[in-house]
Amino acid sequence: MELRNRFSFNHNAKRAIAELFDNVKEGLLIFAILIGFGFFINQGVELKGLYMDDLYLWSCYGEQTFREFVFPMGSTRFRFVFYLAAWLEMFILSGRVELMVPFNIILNAAIAYSVYSISVRMSKGRKLVSILVAGAYLLSRFSYYQIGQFYGLMESLGLWAGIGMLYYIWRYANERSSLSYVLANVLYFMASFIHERYMVLVPVLLLGLLIGSKPERRRNRQIAEQDANESQEDGKRKTRSRGQSVTNEKTVPKWIFLVMTVAVFASIQLIRFITIGTLSPAGTGGTDVEDTFVMADALKHAWEQVWFVFGHNSGPDYLCVMAYEDSPEQIRTLIDRSNMVLGLSILAFVVGMVLEAVKAKNPKKLIPHIKTVLLFLAFIALSIGSSSVTIRVEMRWVYVVYAAALILLAYMSSVMGYAAVLIPIYVALIFQPETFYRDNWDTLYLWPNQLRYNSLAEETVGKYGDDIFDKQVYIIGNNYEMSDFTAQTFLKVYDRDGDAKNTKIKFIDSDFDIKSITDNSLILWEDKEHNAYKDVTDFVAHQRRNYAYGSYADGWVDEHAKIVLMNGNTDTLRLGCYYPGTITGEQVCKIRVNGKWMPDLVFTDNYMIYEIPSAPYQMISLEFSCNFYVANAKEKRGEERLAMVVTLGAK
């Protein structure tokens, strides 16, 4: 009996696992496709060295306690949800900065999968359309910050929470799902503490509450029947249970939700006032919205963002990659054609929803569509408005608007019929423009500096690993204008144990500022042509001490040898000369300095000091001609025999 029960349990467990896998395998496959596409289109994007905001955030992580980092009191910003996520990522990745871009790509693919899932639901199961708009989301030129910066985590999480909030409000407005409205408020609260500009979305909550449909049995039964039909097509049971739950769910009075939303908004403002001492949001570039807001500029910025969504970049290249007017004709043509397709799609949507109402002989069929359009337009307008009140428009702020517009496009396909083929055409048309602008991300304001600091990381930690902390890093000049904070903090990011030395980068006017180049010296040069740093330690060392012929790095010289070197900050070059043989007084070495013969070096002892007058930092050519050699030496390096050991700069 026990064996039979055990067999039955194992059989049931295997069947449950098989059913679970059958339910999720399609989603896993699509998620894998989106991850693969994300890595494909982001080839070449690297983050190896942190600077500016990213480096400052890391320094706070390294120097503050968990409470101080996640809940910074008295700061200009209070984004504890983002700070918590950032703390967790830095804790997991430690000093492995190079893993931040793969992490960002996977995170953005997860958001794209959410776009896909929401689109499937809102488009009534049109999976091809949904995966195309998810792909268009990943493809967008707006993703430069989310992918290429550690701080992109903030933008990604804010976007994710924003579109999630919009989706749940849509569900409440159309299904009167109480749980959906609660979740929308939770996501609104979280988004507001990821980035404060999402606070302006509270009217979307109130609009959803206002237009929420009445809880009629007939309406719920229709939803249940619709979901049941979808479950039959997919061969799944979960959609049926979802529809069933809608029918059985008790409806919470709207006034309770109104109180809840007001309480959520008030709590956000109260928390902000307590933690940062003001209700005015901080602007970009260290400004304050209250000080920089100008209505005319805000309207101009809003209009720019609208055009961004339709492929028309505007503003200086360092903010938009390349303005539409300056783009190649082929790119402009594709953008214009994609907008024509969008126009036809909108027309097809309007015709489709009208025909749907006419066919059903019920004008109320238009109401759900009107509600959806109103919600999305309100979300888009408020998102644009919130990022138009500061001193400039950055493309990363348009990403959430673009994501919402793509989901709305997928929703429109639900009544477009065969005209839904316009959506694949639209995605095909924008592919080349988006990839073109992606290929020119290096014109953006943050990209040149990021390339420099990637190069700095490669030439230091990338080349020497943890041994870099045994070296003193020097940079000749500072034309890149690296700040003192960056010079003091940059290498600390890679110090996982926290006890490394020599993490501060020092600037020198020339290599003459370094008295002696040792194995613990690393000298970098600014390669402005390639926007990078180059390791010139060996070159400088070779320039200072060139073993031309018959001389070797360990000090041995042949019977005839030459050394070219640079004197240090002294007026005398001291040579320590050691001959390991028997001294007879006949061991003589003739020495020529810069072509001029000096007094002979006559060995009266095995170790002799020979002084040569020389100006500081002077290039010196030393030529040796010895009448002796080491007898019975086991080693012969050049054509002649080894004679003696010469120590340059002897004490």
Predicted local confidence at residue 297, as pLDDT: 81
Q: Do 294 and 391 have their domain in common?
A: yes
Residue 222 lies in a domain: no
Which H/E stretch holds residue 484?
A: helix 484-489
Place of tokens 């999305």: 376
Q: What is the CATH number of the domain that holds 638?
A: 2.60.120.260
Structure confidence by residue, pLDDT tens digits, 398-409:
999 999 999 999
Give the pLDDT band (50/70/90) at residue 210: very high
- Using CB atoms within 10 A of its CB, is residue 481 exposed (0-12), middle (13-18) or buried (19+)? exposed
- Structural domain total, the chain: 3
In a domain, 244, yes or no: no
Name the domain boundary from 513, 535, 557. 535
Among the listed ranges 173-177, 287-291, 345-349, which one has the minimum average pLDDT value? Answer: 287-291
Query: Packing angle between helix 295-309 and helix 399-412, nearest 10 degrees?
Result: 50
DSSP state of 528: T
> Domain containing 329: what range?
23-215+251-443
Examine the pLDDT at 12 and tell me if it is beyond 70: no
Instruction: Choose among 635, 609, 529, 511: nearest CA to 568.
Output: 511
Q: Confirm whether 210 is domain-assigned.
A: yes
In this structure, the answer to whether residues 104 and 150 fall within a common structural domain is yes
Contact present, 108 and 147 (Cβ < 8 Å): yes
Q: What is the pLDDT of residue 11?
A: 60
- pLDDT, greater one: 587 or 518: 587
Q: Is 311 found in the same domain as 182?
A: yes
How high does pLDDT run on average in the chain? 88
Provide the β-strand partners of residue 551: 557
pLDDT of amino acid 221: 46
**Is 3 part of any domain?**
no
Q: Is the dihedral of CA 94, 43, 127, 141 positive or negative?
A: positive
Structure token digits, residue 85? 């996520």
Please give the Cα distance from 46 to 102 (Å, whole number).
Answer: 9
Q: Does residue 6 belong to any structural domain of this protein? A: no
Q: Indicate whether 552 and 574 sit together in one domain.
A: yes
Give the domain-ending residue among 492, 510, 535.
Answer: 535
Does residue 565 form part of some domain? yes
Whether residues 44 and 171 fall in one domain? yes
268 is a domain residue: yes
pLDDT band at 242 (very low <50, low <70, confident <90, very high): very low
- Are both 510 and 624 inside the same structural domain? no
Residue 75 gets the label, from left (phi > 0), alpha (psi -120 to 50) or beta, of beta
Residue where one domain finishes, among candidates 443, 470, 485: 443
Q: pLDDT at position 495, please?
A: 87
Concatenating the DSSP letter of every residue in 104-117 gives: HHHHHHHHHHHHHH
> What are the b/e assignments for 441-477, b being 16+ CB within 10 Å?
beebebbebbbbbbbbbbbbbbeeeeebbebbbbbbe
User: The tokens of 584 are what?
Assistant: 């007879």
Count CB atoms within 10 A of the CB of residue 508.
Answer: 14
For residue range 571-599, list pLDDT tens digits in order. Answer: 888 999 999 999 998 999 999 999 999 99
Q: Are 210 and 61 members of one domain?
A: yes
Percent of the chain predicted with pLDDT > 70: 89
**524 & 559 share domain:** no
In this structure, are 402 and 320 located in the same domain? yes
Residues 500 and 557 in one domain: no
pLDDT at 532 over 80: yes
Nearest by Cα to 199 from 53, 78, 73: 78
462: DSSP letter? I
E strand or H helix that includes residue 577: strand 572-578
In a domain, 226, yes or no: no
Q: How many helices (H) and strands (E) does the chain have?
A: 24, 13
Q: Say if residue 334 is in the same domain as residue 380.
A: yes
Q: What is the pLDDT of residues 421-434, one digit of tens each?
A: 999 999 999 999 99
409 vs 521: CA distance, rounded Å: 59
Whether the per-residue pLDDT at 248 is higher than 70: the answer is: no
615 and 492 within one domain = no
Which of the four pLDDT bands, split at 50, 70 and 90, describes residue 496?
A: confident
